[in-house]
Structure 1
Amino acid sequence: MLKRRAQDSDDEIDGPSTAGTPVSKRPRPDTEAPKPSQARRKDKGKAKQTEEIDDDSDESDEEEREDQDIKNEEEQQFEQGYEDIIRAHIEAKRKVQGGVAEHGIIESIEMHQFMCHKYLTFDFGPQINFIIGHNGSGKSAVLSAITVALGGKTTSTGRGSGLKSFIREGQSQSEVTITIKNQGEEAYKPQEYGKSIVITRRFSKEGSSTWKIKSKDGRTISTKKEDLAAICDHMNIQVDNPMNVLTQDAARQFLSASHPNDKYKFFLKGTQLSQLSEEYELCFDNIKATSRVLNQKKEALPDLRAEFREATRRFEEAAKARELKKKQDELKKELAWAHVKTKELEMEKQMKDTAKLAKGVPKLQDLVDDAEAKFQSATEEVAQYESEFKDLGDIGHLNDRKKELQDQIRANKNKLTDFRNDEKQIDSSIKGINRQIDEYTQQIAIETRKLEVDTQAKREEAQQRLQVARDAVTVAESRLAEHQEQRRDAQQRANDLRAQGMDIETKLTTTQGHITEFQELISHCQKQVSDGLSAFGKNMDAVRTQVKKMAWHGDLPLGPLGVGVKIREENKWAADVLRAQLGNLLVAWAVTDARDMPALKKLLRDSNNGNVNVIIFEKDLFDYSQGEPAEGMLTVLRALEIPDPYALRILINQAMIERIFLARDYKDADEMCKSSRQGGVAWTANGLRVNVFGFVGGGGQTTQLQTLRGGDPMNLLLSARDVAVDTQHYRQELSKHEEEFKRLTAEKNQLKTRFGAARREVDQIMAAERKADTEAREAKVIVDNLLQAQNDDLPANVASLEAAKREAEAEKETILAQYTALTKQKSKVDDAQKPLMIEFNRIRDEISDFDRKGDAIRNKIENAVTLRMKAQSDKNHYQAKLQAEQRKVDEAEAQVKVLTEEFINWTARAEEYCERVENPRKPDDIQKSIKAVDQALADRERRQGSSVEELTIQVNKAKAKLDLVERDLKSMALLNKACFRFSPATLRHSLFIRLSKWQEFRRHIALRCKLVFQYNLSHRGYFGKVLFDHANGTLQLKVQTDDMAGTQGAQDKDPRSLSGGEKSFSTICLLLSLWESIGCPLRCLDEFDVFMDAVNRRISMKMMIETANSSDKKQYILITPQDMTNVQLGPTVVVNRMPDPERGQGQFNSVCSKYHC
């Protein structure tokens, strides 16, 4: 099998003409080798080699005629010698049935959207296949599909200039699949592909084209065109060979009016002789190019030798310089090992220093361990004392009770003091009144004795009337007191109702406030629908947009800081306190440059957000884990989800959220803070701030946290729910408070009614009280009148004394009544004060005992803490010192390691450079010696113009260049020895032998073609011959038909004068004869019988079938628009019939009828 032709050389020598003979215009050597062509001849009588190209254009006509006669004579001798042998071989072959090919033939074809076919598929037989059908049915598309699928050129199909033209109209892509037989011993990679190779090519309107080469079971083995080319080469399938696939246009041109030159070209190309000729021509060009290169190298050789001699001379003159150079090298070697020795000494010194430093580390470690033991012991004592203090319990309730008792006792003491002051005043008043009464009694007795006319009876009667009047006064006063008591009870009931009404009013005000708050929250939620940042301020979306547009000195301001911050679901109970404490930070902004603060504040003020804070921060993602408490303790940071790392660290810096605890109540907060040895701060869900100082029991402080107003939009912060859920929640709460407001209003109205009734009752009782008061006053008037009457009966002086005495006695009775009431009240207060004092003394004793015990334990804790702090301080001190010392040791060891590695590396490099130099001098001394040698070398270099190194390099380069040219010249001379003389072993002689063989091939193929052509014509009773003119590159047919034999004798007829059927038959005979000369297993021919009559067509069909049957391992695919009914077929023939084209439907039927005969 011939290889694919290599690329043409760019040599200046003219290449051969593709229409002429191979290797034209070449000199012919004076040997016995056959002539390669008419243009390549020798000069007769000359025996020397010819290296130049001879141009034969000046040869005389006489010489050409002589050459032609010689050639004709040679051809006749060749034909006479081989004609009988070839004819016998042809006759013998016709009697033998050809075998079926095991590989390289097409088993089936399948087309999708290809040319006029939407879908077409059928199978091929292994030998003879006819595809028949009317014109326009798409028969020729089969050959085009074979060419396209096997990687042939689209121009060789004669149906288009590119793949796009093969895609069915209206479709975007097309696909062709061919199955090639792959069996037998010469199968192509049967272990991969199996018994068949399936080749699919898909191409589109966009210009893309892909191959899939599959095995029989459908596995894709390759998608490369190179693998397809390898398969075709292995199976000798030449899809672009016009003799293998003769398309419709090519067949018509070949059958009708092909020129003799075209036929000859067709002959050379089909038999691949032209490709072989071109490759031989390329060999001649390469030989000449090699000769030219050899001549150039020969010309340069003397100059190179002279250059080498000059460099050697200068090098030898530098002998003394080389001695200095040698001394310099010895000094450099000593210097290398001097550096190694210096590094060794440095390493040993560092090792000693490191060992000395390492000795102090264990001592420091012992001190650290001792301080650690003391610290642990003190810590255990602190923990023990703290546990004892905790076991004492809490006396908060005792302190509260003590304070309560103190308040009560203090109030009672104040009352007793007031009582004692009142007693003193009453006692003083009674003593004064008694003195007045005694004086009045003495004066009345004196005046009474003076009266002698008074009668006892009259006095007794007056006294009785006076007693009756006095009894009436007592009854009236009793009734008045009863009414007063009723009035107080009714007034108390009215006051109670008034208090309840005021409480309802307070509740109504609170509920109305809640209603207003939830209405505001609903309004904020509705704003959030259009403004998702309304919780952070007004027009915040516009503010953020403007911030992005403005130019800033630092980074883009960050804010609001709470955007995206949410509270974790399990910590929702702490949402209110977190909003209240972090709200101002969550709505704040932050800048990295203080110069940006005024511009940002102005922007916030202009957008009605003047109360929003601006913070200056540094973009530092520091590690805050050291400030966090132990795992499991809830902090503000752990309760929140903060997506922005910078916002998170701003909140840590501003609010210390990583260390503030969160608790549900005071008890939990206190326990969390006390569980931390450093104390801590906690926020509770009910709004308390609990702060515990230092260690447990070290004191603390609890304050009330600030809360948010109900309608504050910051209540929407930290919410994970969406706006719709928030709105629904607030509407439900609003509805609840509105219902509560209605209920309280109704209760208020009811209390108002009851209060009106109570007021009317009070008014009625007060009217009765006024009436009883009037009756009492009237009764007193009667008593006064009776007393006045008695006094009127007495002398004026006695009467006035009696009246004064009565007034004093009445005043005394009043004061005594007050004293009696005061005594009772004092007795009650004394009785209440005694148990309070007893309880107060008991609680005071308990608190004193607790404080005494607590002070003792506190003193122990303080002492233990002091010891622990000292131990910790010592431990930290020794640890720091140990770490510093360990760092020194580590650094020293690292330095030792570095020095050791340097020493090893320097030693290795020194050993690579030279052998060890024992006891080298100091590097400085060696450097001085080297400097002196360098100076001497520099002086000599100035004199000679080049250094020793440069001279050495020049000599080596000249020697290397000379050796390279001589070596190349010698090897190329051996290879191209034919350029100078001829011998059987030379390359040129070998090429001439190949040319001789090529001519032999051409003669044999031409002779076989002639004989087969005559044999094929004989089927019709014709006689003819094929005339080859290899010199002029022509192929002509001469045919004598049966009628010409009777009329024109032996005169041959030019094919152009034959009828259409005779011409087609003759050309078919020629094509069959040419097919006998090629080795491709595939033969395709389109519309070979287009110009034939029925008789010629029948005979041609029979002849082609016989030829195919006798051909060994060949497959024929023949296309004809004619019917096959009058043709006798055999078992090796498969006929595939194309359906008739369906007009007006824009597509052909895709089903193909197949007949096996």
Structure 2
Amino acid sequence: MPSKRRAVTVDSDTEADVSQTSKRARTGGENREVPVATTSRTRSRRGEDGGEDNDEPIVVDEEEDVQEDFPPNADDEKKFEEQHEELIRAKVMNQNKHLGSIADMGIIEKLELHQFMCHKYLEFTFGPQINFIIGRSGKSAVLSALTVALGGKATMTGRGSGLKSFIREGQAAAEVTVILKNQGEDAYKHDVYGDSIMITRRFTKEGSSSYKIKSKDGKVVSTKRDELSAICDHMNIQVDNPMNILTQGPQFLSASQPADKYKARLTSFHFFLRGTQLSQLSEEYSTCLENISQTQKVLKAKSEILPDLEEQLEEATGRFKEAEKARNLKHKADDLKKEMAWAHVATKEQELSEKIQDHEKLKAKIPKIEEKLREAEVSFLILAAEDEIRLAEQRITDLGDIKDLKNQAKELQETINEGRKKLSVIKDDQKEINFLKIANDKKIEEYKRKVQEEQRKVDEFSHDKRQETQRELQEAIEQYNATNAGLSVLQSQRQQAEQEIRDTRTVHDSLGGDIERQKREISDFESQLNMLAQRERNKLAPFGKNLEHVLADIGRQQWHGRSPIGPLGQYVRVRDQVWAPLMRVRIGAMMSAFAVTDTRDRKTLEAILKRHGNNPQIIISEVDLFDYSRGEPAQGFMTVLRALDISNEWVLRLLINAFSIESILIAETRKDADDRLRDLGHGVAWTSDAYTVERYRRVYASLHLRLVTYPSTEREEVAPSWHRSYDHKILGTSCSLAEISARTEEFSQILSRYTDEGMQRQESHLHQQLRTIKTARDALQDEANEALPVGVQVLQQELEAAEEEQQSLISQFKEVSLQEHAVNLEQRPLIEKHNQVKSLIRDYNGRNAELVGTMQNATEKRLSAQSDMGHWAKKLEDEQAKITAAGEVVDQVQMEFKEWSEKAQRFCERIENPRKVQDIQRQLESVQRALKEREKTQGASVEQMAIEVNKRKAALDNAKRELRTMLQLNKSLRKSIRVRLARWHEFRRHIALRCKIYFSYHLSNRGYFGKVLFDHVGGTLQLKVQTDDQAGTQGGNREKDPRSLSGGEKSFSTICLLLSLWESIGCPIRCLVVDEFDVFMDAVNRRISMRMMIDTANASDRKQYILITPQDMTNIQIGKTVRVHRMSDPERGQGLLSF
């Protein structure tokens, strides 16, 4: 069993207590070997098969004991010190006689502090060798800042628990900058950083921290912590080494016992190990030993499975020998497989013959389908030539629009509905009057009956007088009724005349509107004539307003790109005026456009145009004078480009990009366009009759899109004919105005005739006469009533009242009837006109439906023909696809036949006339069943067993080979670590001896004697010091423990120990705060200590010292290698107390 080893504790970021990790490897005698067990079968197998290293057993060394350090042999240590002490002392004595050289890299050139601890701003420029920083307070902040700037943790300074505690009170962030020297042959990335490297670390109250690593010229090279670590490693700056930067608080001499020193957080032994980096090597060696031990255990476990692998190989070999007996059946199965291969080839050959026949049958169908397709194409072309659809569309267009008729019918219907509402109200009034009249008639009959009864009772009444009175009364009533009837007729005539007056006024007002409209048309025509005359005088007028001023402003403006061009129409001319209307409709909108080459010029040009009242299109395009000849058709086809004369090449390209004018054909009619596209094969054409005709490749029909109808002004000829056209229009409008004025005069006379006062005077006369007759009638009635008895008089009065009411109802009914007649008179012409309009609408709808039906029939015929053509085209395409697919199948089968033949040829010689595949398969299955029966008993096939044997043998060989390799590697590693551990112990002995000699040498400068006692196993370091008073009084027989030393003696001893330890480290920087040591030193000790540190620094090669002391250094002789930095007291925010 290997002995237990102590656990190794690695320094962590939290700076926990560090355990001693120094160890030494020791072997307990000779290495013991464990041979691998072998069996008789293993030995037999080795004898038969042989193999590499099979005759040699594989042995695995047991894990060697690794023990802790044990007390060294006193004689060995004494002998070692005698051999090397004089050499080291001679080196120490000669060292002070020579000055050390200045380091090329790794030393500090400058340090800056911003808002750090108690300093608002602090700056130091350090010398290359010795630097003293003096002052009363705030000095140790320099070393804390140096530690933080080089990436150290805040806890390493002993002045705070985190970076936030270093920020000056009241500030949000602090910044520390250190400049490192970077010269010489070994400079770090000198081509990137130059002669200096500037490292700046900034941290805030929120806890964030960042780095900026700059070159000498101030350029930021990196902001990563890894780059800083690489710089420190390259320059051997060990920030976490406690001996490089010593701040306040290293109380490693105050512990009373050596064991207590060992347990202290920062002990002298800890300084010794960490400062000399021996602890790091010890930890790494310990890790290597653990890995080697673990590997040894794994290898031993693997060596134990080798016998099992050998036994498995023996078993597999035995089964394989038994399986060899089935080889005859296997050979027969192989012969059957060979015949099977050529049987498959024969089957594939038969399949190839069948596929070729199918392919030929499909190709035979193509001529019939092509004939059907040609017939369908002829039928479609015949229907397309008849062009029934276009004729029907033209006839529908010729019918015009019935929107005005529908609006008129709607207005008439609304007027008729209003009249019907009036008639409904009149009918209701008539019904009510009839109802009242019937009731009143019954009352009159009742009163007459009662009067007659009363009259029979009155015998003495004079019959003759009554008859005379009745006769006169009857005449008065008849005269009254006649006059009333005449008045009714006259009122009816008056109402009819009033209606005629209203109709006449309506016509008169309509004619007045026509007159005004005709006058406006004449004024518009005259304005257009003036505008045309102005356009003839100004060639730019058709394209916008004030374009002369626009072009002048464009010429004065500074542009980012080329000067804008426009309007485009001034560069375009129609060669033949026949095409002018077509061009005006198709590309006219773009004639007023402008073009720029830079997007930034668009807004400027747009502002200029709007300022002069224009808002045309603005095109943004580079001046790309590309070759457009490939897009033009042959010379026999008229295109838009060939109909135009364009004087500017850029304008020509813009129109090509916008309308493809180089390829679009033009024609008079759609039929001409269709014919030309058919000759061309494909393309687009514009026609003068407002069609766009398109024809596509592989499509047997043209797509016709109806364009917007030409505006009337667009159908006129160009400038010379416009004057004649507008003159004719003005003349025709003037004639219409004269005719309308004559009709207006006629209706004015009719209106004046109906407004004569004669009819009104006649009606007034009849009313006066009716009142006179009514008065005479009432008098006679009263006279007749006076002759009657009272009862008869009462009844007679009631009768008269009823008769008067009857007359009133009759008058009301007549008046209502006259109103009904007047409304009917108004409704009759409206209804007749409405019926006429509806008849026109029905005629239009019927004709339109007939034409639509004709067009739909023609469309259906064409679609049917087109469908047939598409069907046969699709049929032809499908059949051709089938032929292609069948051809591919033939090629595939032929390729398979060829591949199978080649594979069969490679498999075995050709077998002529093989049997059918099924017969061979049955016989092969019979043989394979027999083989499987044997495999059942053996557990696997012959091939599987052969594979299994090879697999087992390969596994065994690989395991042995890997085990031998790893054993050799582990043995070499163990040997290497023993050598390294021995070298490590040798380093430790040398370093410890140098530390002892240097310590004695430094103490002798004061007349003291002392020594350093190392216990590497126990992890302790003891100091023994004998002062000069002890030597005088006690004869030098007693050495003081550090606890019994005075303050000055303890401080001086500490300085001596630090200088001794500094000789053992390689970092180019040494920093020390000597505040506590200065407190207890007297003037002699202080002078000697300072001189000793200065001499040591001067003798050190390529090292820089930064020493902080509260003394003023007046008693020290300053040389050229020493630089003193005096600090002023920092501002701590203290004020005066008010009393």
Please give the TM-score of this superposition, normalised by the length of structure 2.
0.52
Are positions 1:1066 and 2:1053 aligned together?
yes
What's the CA shift string for 1:801-838, capped at 9, x where partnerless? xxxxxxxxxxxxxxxxxxxxxxxxxxxxxxxxxxxxxx
CA distance in 2, matches of 1:1122, 1:297: 70
Are positions 1:1115 and 2:1104 aligned together?
yes
One-letter amino acid of the counterpart of residue 1046, structure 1? G
One-letter amino acid of the counterpart of residue 997, structure 1? R
1:1092 aligns with 1081
User: What's the CA shift for 1:683?
Assistant: 14
Please tell me whether the aligned partners of residues 63 and 296 of structure 2 are also in contact (alpha carbons under 8 angstroms): no
SS of residue paired to 2:305: helix
What's the CA shift string for 1:1083-1137, capped at 9, x where partnerless? 2223453543344333323322332232222222333344444443334444445
In the alignment, which of 956, 966, 971 is matched to residue 962 of structure 1?
Answer: 956
Are positions 1:280 and 2:309 aligned together?
no
1:510 aligns with none
CA distance in 2, matches of 1:326, 1:218: 86
* Range moving further from structure 2, 1080-1089 or 197-206: 197-206
- CA gap of 1:932–1:50, structure 2 versus 1, over 3 A, is closer
In the alignment, which of 989, 1006, 1015 is matched to residue 1003 of structure 1?
Answer: 989
2:462 aligns with none
Please tell me whether the aligned partners of residues 1014 and 1024 of structure 1 are also in contact (alpha carbons under 8 angstroms): yes
CA distance in 1, matches of 2:987, 2:1070: 22
One-letter amino acid of the counterpart of residue 279, structure 2? S
Are positions 1:248 and 2:248 aligned together?
yes
- CA gap of 1:871–1:968, structure 2 versus 1, over 3 A, is closer
User: What's the CA shift for 1:70?
Assistant: 1.8
What's the CA shift string for 1:214-235, capped at 9, x where partnerless? 5445555555544443333222
SS of residue paired to 2:1014: strand
Are positions 1:270 and 2:275 aligned together?
yes
Are positions 1:134 and 2:121 aligned together?
no
One-letter amino acid of the counterpart of residue 1106, structure 1? D
In the alignment, which of 1014, 1019, 1042 is matched to residue 1055 of structure 1?
Answer: 1042
Please tell me whether the aligned partners of residues 1087 and 1116 of structure 2 are also in contact (alpha carbons under 8 angstroms): yes
What's the CA shift string for 1:471-528, capped at 9, x where partnerless? xxxxxxxxxxxxx99x999996896369869999xxxxxxxxxxxxxxxxxxxxxxxx
In the alignment, which of 364, 371, 379 is matched to residue 376 of structure 2?
Answer: 371
Map of 1:18-417 to 2, 5 A cutoff?
Answer: 22-24=22-24, 26-27=26-27, 68-78=73-83, 82-110=84-112, 114-116=116-118, 122-135=124-137, 137=138, 139-163=139-163, 165-166=165-166, 176-201=176-201, 211-217=211-217, 221-249=221-249, 251-253=250-252, 259=258, 261=262, 262-321=267-326, 324-325=329-330, 328=333, 342=347, 346=351, 349-350=354-355, 352-354=357-359, 356-358=361-363, 360-361=365-366, 364-365=369-370, 367-369=372-374, 371-382=376-387, 386=391
CA distance in 2, matches of 1:161, 1:337: 89
Please tell me whether the aligned partners of residues 490 and 762 of structure 1 are also in contact (alpha carbons under 8 angstroms): no
One-letter amino acid of the counterpart of residue 278, structure 1? E
Unaligned 5+ runs, structure 2: 10-17, 32-59, 406-488, 510-688, 695-700, 710-750, 771-847
Map of 1:352-751 to 2, 5 A cutoff?
Answer: 352-354=357-359, 356-358=361-363, 360-361=365-366, 364-365=369-370, 367-369=372-374, 371-382=376-387, 386=391, 496=501
CA distance in 2, matches of 1:306, 1:296: 17
One-letter amino acid of the counterpart of residue 308, structure 1? L
CA distance in 2, matches of 1:115, 1:325: 94
SS of residue paired to 2:281: helix
* Range moving further from structure 2, 1107-1116 or 872-881: 872-881
- CA gap of 1:194–1:874, structure 2 versus 1, over 3 A, is same
Map of 1:813-892 to 2, 5 A cutoff?
Answer: 871-892=865-886
Please tell me whether the aligned partners of residues 1000 and 1009 of structure 2 are also in contact (alpha carbons under 8 angstroms): yes
What's the CA shift string for 1:839-874, capped at 9, x where partnerless? xxxxxxxxxxxxxxx9xx999999998985674354
1:994 aligns with 980
- CA gap of 1:1108–1:903, structure 2 versus 1, over 3 A, is farther
CA distance in 1, matches of 2:1003, 2:1046: 15
The alignment-based identity, stated in percent, is 52
- CA gap of 1:352–1:493, structure 2 versus 1, over 3 A, is same
- CA gap of 1:768–1:356, structure 2 versus 1, over 3 A, is same
One-letter amino acid of the counterpart of residue 76, structure 2? K
1:763 aligns with 760
SS of residue paired to 1:1084: strand
One-letter amino acid of the counterpart of residue 1022, structure 2? Q
User: What's the CA shift for 1:275?
Assistant: 2.5
Please tell me whether the aligned partners of residues 255 and 1063 of structure 1 are also in contact (alpha carbons under 8 angstroms): no
CA distance in 2, matches of 1:396, 1:1074: 117
- CA gap of 1:1022–1:130, structure 2 versus 1, over 3 A, is same
User: What's the CA shift for 1:1071?
Assistant: 0.8
Unaligned 5+ runs, structure 1: 1-9, 32-48, 401-483, 505-669, 685-753, 774-853, 978-985, 1147-1157
What's the CA shift string for 1:592-616, capped at 9, x where partnerless? xxxxxxxxxxxxxxxxxxxxxxxxx
Please tell me whether the aligned partners of residues 312 and 952 of structure 2 are also in contact (alpha carbons under 8 angstroms): yes
One-letter amino acid of the counterpart of residue 969, structure 2? L
CA distance in 2, matches of 1:167, 1:347: 92
SS of residue paired to 1:878: helix
1:813 aligns with none
In the alignment, which of 1007, 1024, 1033 is matched to residue 1010 of structure 2?
Answer: 1024
User: What's the CA shift for 1:999?
Assistant: 3.1
2:1020 aligns with 1034
1:1103 aligns with 1092
CA distance in 2, matches of 1:340, 1:1024: 105
SS of residue paired to 1:1038: strand
Please tell me whether the aligned partners of residues 1038 and 1054 of structure 1 are also in contact (alpha carbons under 8 angstroms): yes
CA distance in 1, matches of 2:495, 2:1019: 151
| Equivalent pairs, count | 708
One-letter amino acid of the counterpart of residue 231, structure 2? I
SS of residue paired to 1:248: coil
Please tell me whether the aligned partners of residues 22 and 274 of structure 1 are also in contact (alpha carbons under 8 angstroms): yes
CA distance in 1, matches of 2:273, 2:69: 28
CA distance in 1, matches of 2:856, 2:22: 119
CA distance in 1, matches of 2:95, 2:1101: 9
* Range moving further from structure 2, 368-377 or 861-870: 861-870
RMSD of equivalent CA atoms: 5.8
* Range moving further from structure 2, 990-999 or 1063-1072: 990-999
- CA gap of 1:394–1:1058, structure 2 versus 1, over 3 A, is closer
- CA gap of 1:491–1:878, structure 2 versus 1, over 3 A, is closer
One-letter amino acid of the counterpart of residue 1008, structure 2? Y
User: What's the CA shift for 1:903?
Assistant: 7.2
CA distance in 2, matches of 1:763, 1:395: 51
CA distance in 2, matches of 1:1056, 1:395: 129
One-letter amino acid of the counterpart of residue 1013, structure 1? F
